[in-house]
Amino acid sequence: MSVPNAPDRFNEEKSTYTVRGSDTPDLEAGVAAIRNVLKTLPVRPGVYRMQDARGDVLYVGKAKALKNRVTNYTQIDRLSKRLQRMVAQTRSMTIVTTNNEAEALLLEAQLIKRYRPAYNVLLRDDKSFPFILLRADHDYPRIQKHRGARKIKGDYYGPFASAGSVNTTLNALQKLFLLRSCTDSFFKTRDRPCLLYQIKRCSAPCVERIAREPYLELVADAKAFLAGKSTEVQAKLGKQMEAAAEAMDFELAAILRDRLRALTFIQGSQAINAEGVGDADIFAMACKQGVIGIQAFFIRGGQNWGHRSFFPAHTADVPEDEVLTSFLTQFYEEVPPAKTVFIDRELPEAALLAEVMSTQAGRKVELSVPQRGTRRRLLDQATRNAEEALDRRLAESTTQAKLLREVAELFGLGEPPDRIEIYDNSHIQGTAALGAMVVAGPEGFRKGQYRKFNIKTAATNDDFAMMREVFQRRFARAQNEDPDRDSGDWPDLVLIDGGRGQLNAVKEVLEDMGIEDVCLVGIAKGPHHGRDGREVFHMLDGREFQLPVNAPVLFYLQRLRDEVHRFAIGAHRDKRSKAIGASPLDEVPGIGPARKKALLMHFGTARAVRGASLEDLQKAPGVSQAVAQQVYDFFHVN
């Protein structure tokens, strides 16, 4: 069961309490707003959203009985300091009723993901999980890496913990089963085998080096292996190799030998032994110094498909059981659960979680705390990894905190910056021009908040004008959406990849907007163009200075500058690639892919279409008189 487009499918009501003349936190006003909602609140399952005076969501919660749950927020003496602060900020509530508690839990996870409230535990992870996809939409199925929605027909295997783990497995699978990885268009146009065939990673079905039936047998073997039946596949390959050797077909025997080696490599590269476990997800939690880390292992078919560390946000003063419950709910909002989910502690809502995961998976999912045997050993290993990952995180945070203190001292900030924005432009002789912004904070780079700006008005060969446009758009939006600067989206420090000219251009823009309290710093290459690793830092007051070449804070600032440079160049390349593939026919109203293809096939080039007469356009197959007139008018009528 999913809850699409929530909360549209449910009944939603909003109640508001306004304190005239004051939007400041007020505990009495918050309690009054909640009591106002209680007057009409039903005793049934649902989800509630607590909002501040501006309508921003503070907290999303679910309840088996809404009236009973929300009533607790009016009993101030029983609330933690954290919840008291939340109630003091509350000025309105939005109520969504559901059919049962399981639906409420699903909806809660979706709304937390949408609104990312300040008082909810948040799964802070910007990366989706990769899968291996064995497609079923072609006579010769293709094996490939896949991210995102699973809309393509085929079998999906995953999740894998990282792109590295899925790439390693894919490479080994290509050696083992010789399945094609090329696109359908590439497959269709081949007239001789490609390099993958030469290095024995593909059986070259594109040029019929293997018939369809034997190829489908390889596909069946791959499915069996990915389903955990590696022993059966190994025995089958061994028998085939022996038979080939007895038949004096040593070339085939050598190929089968190499495939067996690939299988042995996959089995031997497992970091943990999960034989007999089948499909399982394993989660263990560690907590130190108020920071919580969660380690996840992914076991499929008894094979280790990697592990990943998570560090949820907003966990201060939240019970550990509540953190893990919220984490699992949000985690499985997108990722399909394994048949068994192992956790390191009993949860009060374990039965409800299992029900929700079963509904999402369309099959029974077991949630349990293993006590002995292989499963307990795996859980202990996950616990050990969680503790070690948390220790590394805390050590990194200590180093990061020290660096941010040095940054604050270097640039005269009152306190270490919580949000640093770094800007750069990218273009080639004015083409495909864009600006880029990356964001960093105490926890590292915030990749989900990166932004790119397609240059619209500035001359694309004028770097100063491009920078002015980027800052005007970014800060005009900030002033409009967050004039009080209390959302955390205003920067404490802005770094600009450029020298005095770029810095002055940005300064003028912000002064015209009435913004004079943002710390701006330009980072320019030194007199030797950065070869000596000593960039020049330009300050608004006219100062220029360099840092010692071995200073840790210099390495940190260089890393920030290099990240925005990498992001800007990558975005520019993507834009340039799209521009190369664009056609003037894309701009003609009413011309879809089919008619565009028909015109290009008939005339050869877009330029020929542009120069064609109306009569010639009407002769193109699939092009009606009205469409021909439309195309002709687009290119010839002012």
Q: What is the pLDDT of residue 21?
A: 35
> Per 3-state DSSP, what percentage of the chain is helix, strand, and coil (rounded to 5)?
45, 20, 35
State phi, psi for 3 to the nearest 5 degrees.
-125, 75
The one-letter code for the residue type at 636 is: H
Burial class (CB in 10 A: 0-12, 13-18, 19+), 89: buried
Has residue 77 got a pLDDT over 80?
yes
Q: What is the pLDDT of residue 372?
A: 87
Say yes or no: do domains 280-391 and 584-636 share a fold. Answer: no
| Tens digits of residue pLDDT in 227-248 | 767 677 777 777 878 887 878 8
Task: Identify the CATH number of the domain defined by range 280-391.
Answer: 3.30.420.340
Has residue 467 got a pLDDT over 60?
yes
Neighbours of 530 (CB within 10 A): 15
The one-letter code for the residue type at 66 is: L
Domain boundaries, the chain: 11-115, 131-268, 280-391, 420-579, 584-636
| Tens digits of residue pLDDT in 513-567 | 988 889 999 998 866 554 555 789 999 888 899 998 888 899 999 999 999 989 8
In CATH terms, the fold of domain 584-636 is DNA polymerase; domain 1 (1.10.150)
Has residue 8 got a pLDDT over 50?
no
Q: What is the pLDDT of residue 578?
A: 62
Has residue 493 got a pLDDT over 70?
yes
State phi, psi for 44 to the nearest 5 degrees.
-155, 165
Q: At 1, is the pLDDT very low, low, confident or very high (cuts 50, 70, 90)?
A: very low
Nearest CA-CA partner of 126 in 113, 117, 135: 113
Tell me the chain's radius of gyration from C-alpha atoms.
Answer: 30
Average pLDDT, the chain: 83
Q: What is the pLDDT of residue 295?
A: 93
Has residue 595 got a pLDDT over 50?
yes
- Which secondary structure element, helix H or strand E, spans residue 510, and what is its range? helix 500-512
Mean pLDDT along residues 267-278? 60
Q: At 224, is the pLDDT very low, low, confident or very high (cuts 50, 70, 90)?
A: confident
| Tens digits of residue pLDDT in 162-173 | 777 788 888 878
Distance CA 18, CA 365 (A): 46
Nearest CA-CA partner of 329 in 106, 66, 116: 106
| Tens digits of residue pLDDT in 409-419 | 999 898 999 99
- Which secondary structure element, helix H or strand E, spans residue 472, and what is its range? helix 463-481
Which tokens sit at 494? 């802005």
Distance CA 27, CA 13 (A): 23
Mean pLDDT along residues 303-320? 86
Has residue 13 got a pLDDT over 70?
no
State phi, psi for 206 to the nearest 5 degrees.
-65, -30
Q: What residues have CB less than 8 Å from 377, skipping those under 6 apart?
A: none
Has residue 622 got a pLDDT over 80?
no
Which tokens sit at 531? 């070869």
Task: Identify the CATH number of the domain defined by range 420-579.
Answer: 3.30.420.340
Q: Over pLDDT 90: what percentage of the chain?
A: 33
Which superfamily, per CATH, for 11-115?
GIY-YIG endonuclease (3.40.1440.10)
Q: What is the pLDDT of residue 25?
A: 66
Q: What residues have CB less than 8 Å from 383, skipping those under 6 apart?
A: 284, 286, 295, 344
Has residue 302 got a pLDDT over 80?
no
Neighbours of 146 (CB within 10 A): 19
pTM of the model: 0.68
**Of 340-349, 408-417, 585-594, 595-604, which gets the smallest average pLDDT?**
585-594
Longest dimension (CA), the chain: 94
Mean pLDDT along residues 207-228? 86
Which tokens sit at 199? 């290095």
| Tens digits of residue pLDDT in 367-384 | 999 998 888 988 999 999
- Which secondary structure element, helix H or strand E, spans residue 451, and what is its range? strand 451-454
| Tens digits of residue pLDDT in 182-212 | 888 888 888 888 888 888 889 899 998 999 9
Distance CA 254, CA 7 (A): 60
- Encode 240-291 in three state secondary structure: HHHHHHHCCCHHHHHHHHHHHHHHHHHHHCCCCCCCCCCCEEEEEEEEECCE
Distance CA 329, CA 318 (A): 16
Q: What is the pLDDT of residue 176?
A: 80
Distance CA 351, CA 340 (A): 13
Which tokens sit at 156? 């999906």
